[in-house]
Structure 1
């Protein structure tokens, strides 16, 4: 059985990943880039990159196609535009990048380290009303909050 992290690691050689500082430069050079945040809506509402489009991973494939309730026209029409995919840590966006490539998207980039890395590099985030998020609030939000019962039982024994 493979873990989520192992699956993500297996596909990374087949996608393009960029570190936050490289994405920042890339966005300046390519203002037509569509930033797609694939986190769940409640995650996105808390804080996100300004002007990004929220398309949760669970509906991504439908959002990329016409004739679905989840269709996002801007995303459907972005097959020839640069698309940067964003999640919390970079694993979901890696899987999503691989999927979009399979669906004909020509220039897909996964934000390596996700918004955690974006925040660590002190790049700007905004809240639901598009107000800037304080860096300390972002640090607290992205801190690991795994509960004891969420840990692997084998690691709890040690």
Structure 2
């Protein structure tokens, strides 16, 4: 171990670009982890969402396009088009203290809606990592149609 520490400055001197890239990646990784620790939005795996459903009966909001929702959604989920998503809506505002889970097809578009919920004062905001694709890949139950 002591030998490695003595050769490290020499290695860094010969491989400046590689060393700089390592430092940049390390800082980016640490920044990402710190940001997730302080985020008010929790990302759930399909198994984590199943546990939350069994434990807390959250409000499930699917912001996928209508066609995707009708092809398959989590049982009990409500469909709200992203263009009509309004955290200040009277029926949604009643759920400010309840757990609210946002779901989309791939898990890529829920972040913006989740931020809007947090900004509106919602305290327990979750997103499904990987969206419906991950839910179906985990072979969990799927409902079809508009309900």
SS in 2 for 1:91: coil
Displaced runs of 4 or more, over 6 A: none
Change (3 A) 1:111 1:127: same
> What is the Cα deviation at residue 76 of structure 1?
2.4
**CA distance in structure 2 between the partners assigned to 1:93 and 1:55 by the alignment:** 12
The aligned residue for residue 16 of structure 1 is 42
The aligned residue for residue 22 of structure 2 is none
How many residues are matched?
Answer: 111
The aligned residue for residue 88 of structure 2 is 65
SS in 2 for 1:58: helix
Is 1:44 the counterpart of 2:55 in the alignment? no
TM-score, normalisation: structure 2: 0.69
Contact 2:69 / 2:146 at 8 angstroms: preserved in 1? no
1:112-150 CA-to-partner distances (Å, cap 9, x unmatched) read 1100000000011011166xxxxxxxxxxxxxxxxxxxx
**CA distance in structure 1 between the partners assigned to 2:146 and 2:99 by the alignment:** 26
Change (3 A) 1:123 1:57: same
TM-score, normalisation: structure 1: 0.65
**CA distance in structure 1 between the partners assigned to 2:95 and 2:113 by the alignment:** 15
Match for residue 112 of structure 1 among 125, 129, 138 = 129
For the aligned residue pairs, the C-alpha RMSD in angstroms reads 1.8
Higher relative helix content: 2
In structure 1, the gaps of 5 or more residues are 1-8, 131-158
Is 1:35 the counterpart of 2:60 in the alignment? yes
> What is the Cα deviation at residue 65 of structure 1?
2.3
Contact 2:88 / 2:120 at 8 angstroms: preserved in 1? no
The aligned residue for residue 153 of structure 1 is none
